[in-house]
Structure 1
Amino acid sequence: MELIGVVFGGRSPEHDISILTGLQAVRALSSKKVPVVPIYWSKQGEFYLIDSQAEAKDFANGLPPKASPIYLRLGSEPGFYQGASGLLSKSKRVDVDIVVNCCHGGPGEDGTLQGIFDQANISYTGPTARAAALGMDKLSFGSLMKDLGVPVLQRANLDSTTETLPFEGPYIVKPRYGGSSLGIDVVEDLATAKMRLSANVHLRYGAVVEPYRADLFDLQLAVRSFPELTLSPLERPMKRGTAGEILSYKDKYIAGEGMATAPRELPAKVSHEVEKKVSEIVHKVASVIGVRSVFRVDFLASEGDELYLNEVNTIPGSLSHYLWIEPKLSFGDQLMIYLEEAKSSPSTYSTTAGADGTVLRSASSVASKLA
């Protein structure tokens, strides 16, 4: 039987949530009698094999017990290896057939890790490098959706040179490349928004701003791409009674097992018209950016049936397994679907066709091209 790797962690603000998702995936696959190898990606960027019975608390202070270092090799014999990494040193290949990517945010979700896996010829679940990069970039994604006629709130880039905004405050300020509610601020004016750029570490590598609408609430659903595009019921996430204007990181993740235990209305009580609009938008998003495995698509809605696409989450917390209730589908069964898709649908295709040396043979000297 194939050996499945589950990669989790990573150099991301969502490192801890990724550990929860990864450990859930390990348990779910083990319950299906699938040989599984947990692979922990540390905050320092190093990979480790982990005991399959590890618990979340084992990672609270760093590496869990019995962690064994491995490394990822590119080149003629790519893959994960255990042992010394020197050219003359002996090492043992970790024969992982497919990797389940449970890395939220940062390089695990923005296309970086996907690109490495592509170069290492490692099959994986989740978005392709291209879809991951687009989904993580709130400014680019929002602009593309607007151009396609999808209803979105106005969104603008925010940096130290921003002098005006095309809409009135108050504003919601978000990390441009963030994958969760971390780093989101609600501010009254542009001056305060710009002050947050240096004070909020999550905004330092890019920020976007949009009008803050207190009358809008969150709606979201999961989208599965294989064997055909399938939508879960709509969910309305709820706050835990915390103060604040937005659904916070605490509302989503603290005091539970990630999003799976966060309070929610599921299915959400919305009109048939809203459900229809959601379906139309989701199908358009899927056709443009290419859903793979499972995405979560997030909306903002009003009691008056206004609806705006907010963002996509290409590797959602707990892989949104809790949303598949009609019909009920276990997390293990969902993962088996994603693994089957990873086997049958390669994430990338590369070719050197055309690079036959003709241009090089006919080229003049390099020195002459610099003259």
Structure 2
Amino acid sequence: MSERTRVAILFGGRSDEHPVSCATAAGVLAAIDRDRYEVVPIGIARTGEWILAADDPARWQITGPTPPQVEAGDGDQVLLPMDSSGDVVSYGPGSGSAPALLGQVDVVLPLLHGPFGEDGTLQGMLELAGLPYAGSGVLASAVGMDKHYMKIVLAGAGLPVGPYTVITDRAWRTSREDALAAVDALGWPVFVKPCRAGSSIGISKVDRPEDLAAAVEAAREHDPKVIVEAAIVGREIECAVLEGRDDAPPRTTLPGEILVTDTGHGFYDYQAKYFDADGVTLAWPAEVGEATTAEVRALAAQTFDALGCEGLARVDFFVTASGVVVNEINTMPGFTPFSMYPMMWERSGLAYRDLITELIELARQRRTGLR
């Protein structure tokens, strides 16, 4: 057995953010300190199979119109332990061969975005398996993924959130007109979003009431629960948060500002994030003044603590003429070398490889279960 720490890198998954997760894995596989860590890449197909994936960063990059994808049958299937051994097993279904013991995994780096990966479901499975993992636990992951309950928790903690309304699956099926009418109080335009999705997937900007129902239906293709948010006039500011060491408070970067320079994008949407990178820049540090910078960093740390987050998070804000508004928190933000979260840490002096190391070591220090 290697003396290096064995890290299972999980990526892919069943959500619409599958390709983004693959791209994140490509970045991590290329940068992780191989002298310190032995890597076990595990891809999760959209159908749910866990396979021993190719340890090949180029295989998982977004390089053209066809996004990367973990395919069932690309490798032997993988089973996690449901005891305290940490031993991972692989097997080839239908091959007639005996299962192979891959050995003990010391820590899991779950690079999954969206439902069935970032929403507490995977975290619960890893807790049951007794495997330490990077990032937030079950509750913080679930609340951070659900924009509805995230706003309830943040408002309950006294943090500023914008006006919104929620259209549940039952409300849409039984009282659609009432649900649409509730949106009028927000004013126009509004943003219609799947409640439990990320990477701006399924989001529409709606300027007039007659287009609202179609936007809700588009969001419901990704999540039966939909959140409708009032448009906030302000600058889009982001702040990266990293768990403090040895019970110290969360660490934050100076805030950055997203600048969409391609006028073909009405907002910072999925296409702008991952396929039209030349039309988007990160201004860092954001020129918002010392007082606002300090407020954003303080609110980012308070948001992280309000949800009980661990490991990492990116907190997104609007800086308006009347103050700072918390838009949302991402407990597993985009993590390619060119994503905003690692870029802000890189510019703060923590290189991408060192950031990966920091997250793994933070995870190793935490026990599983109640803590």
TM tier, shorter chain? 0.7 to 0.9
Alpha-carbon contact 2:42-2:51 (below 8 Å) kept: yes
Deviation at 1:12, TM superposition (A): 1.1
**Range 123-132 or range 30-39, more displaced:** 30-39
Once residues 231 and 125 of structure 2 are traced to their aligned partners in structure 1, the CA distance between those partners, rounded to angstroms, is 38
**Match of 1:286?**
304
Aligned residue type for 2:56: Q
Alpha-carbon contact 1:104-1:316 (below 8 Å) kept: yes
**Range 97-106 or range 285-294, more displaced:** 285-294
Deviation at 1:75, TM superposition (A): 5.0
Once residues 218 and 37 of structure 1 are traced to their aligned partners in structure 2, the CA distance between those partners, rounded to angstroms, is 37
- Which aligned pairs between 1:110-125 and structure 2 lie closer than 5 A? 110-125=119-134
**Match of 2:113?**
104
| Match for residue 127 of structure 1 among 97, 122, 136 | 136
Aligned residue type for 1:50: A
Once residues 13 and 152 of structure 1 are traced to their aligned partners in structure 2, the CA distance between those partners, rounded to angstroms, is 26
- Give TM-score, length-normalised by structure 1: 0.84
Secondary structure, counterpart of 1:106 in structure 2: coil
Unaligned runs of at least 5 residues, structure 2: 62-66
Secondary structure, counterpart of 1:275 in structure 2: helix
Alpha-carbon contact 1:238-1:264 (below 8 Å) kept: yes
Closer/same/farther in 2, CA of residues 151 and 106 from structure 1, 3 Å limit: same
Once residues 21 and 199 of structure 1 are traced to their aligned partners in structure 2, the CA distance between those partners, rounded to angstroms, is 26
**Range 121-130 or range 317-326, more displaced:** 317-326
**Match of 1:175?**
194
**Match of 1:67?**
75
Alpha-carbon contact 1:298-1:311 (below 8 Å) kept: yes
**Match of 2:27?**
24
Secondary structure, counterpart of 2:307 in structure 1: helix
Deviation at 1:119, TM superposition (A): 0.5
**Range 308-317 or range 269-278, more displaced:** 269-278
Alpha-carbon contact 2:191-2:205 (below 8 Å) kept: yes
**Match of 2:366?**
345
Secondary structure, counterpart of 1:324 in structure 2: helix
- Which aligned pairs between 1:1-371 and structure 2 lie closer than 5 A? 1-56=4-59, 60=68, 63=71, 67-74=75-82, 79-83=87-91, 90-94=98-102, 95-159=104-168, 160=172, 161=175, 162=179, 163-165=181-183, 166-190=185-209, 192-213=211-232, 215-227=233-245, 228=248, 229-255=250-276, 262-302=280-320, 304=321, 306-318=323-335, 320-325=341-346, 327-349=348-370
Once residues 65 and 72 of structure 1 are traced to their aligned partners in structure 2, the CA distance between those partners, rounded to angstroms, is 18
Closer/same/farther in 2, CA of residues 292 and 168 from structure 1, 3 Å limit: same
Once residues 326 and 47 of structure 2 are traced to their aligned partners in structure 1, the CA distance between those partners, rounded to angstroms, is 35
Partner deviation per Cα, 1:220-277 (whole Å, 9 max, x = no partner):
0110003132101211112141424321112211155xx9x95210111111121122
**Match of 1:359?**
none
CA RMSD in angstroms comes to 2.8
Unaligned runs of at least 5 residues, structure 1: 351-371
Deviation at 1:109, TM superposition (A): 0.3
Deviation at 1:204, TM superposition (A): 4.0
Partner deviation per Cα, 1:183-235 (whole Å, 9 max, x = no partner):
1111134553233232444454211111113x322110110003132101211
Q: How many equivalent pairs are there?
A: 344
Aligned residue type for 1:124: Y
Alpha-carbon contact 2:22-2:68 (below 8 Å) kept: no
Alpha-carbon contact 1:10-1:103 (below 8 Å) kept: yes
- Give TM-score, length-normalised by structure 2: 0.84
Alpha-carbon contact 1:236-1:264 (below 8 Å) kept: yes
Deviation at 1:311, TM superposition (A): 0.3
Alpha-carbon contact 2:5-2:106 (below 8 Å) kept: yes
**Range 262-271 or range 237-246, more displaced:** 237-246
Structure number with bigger Rg: 1
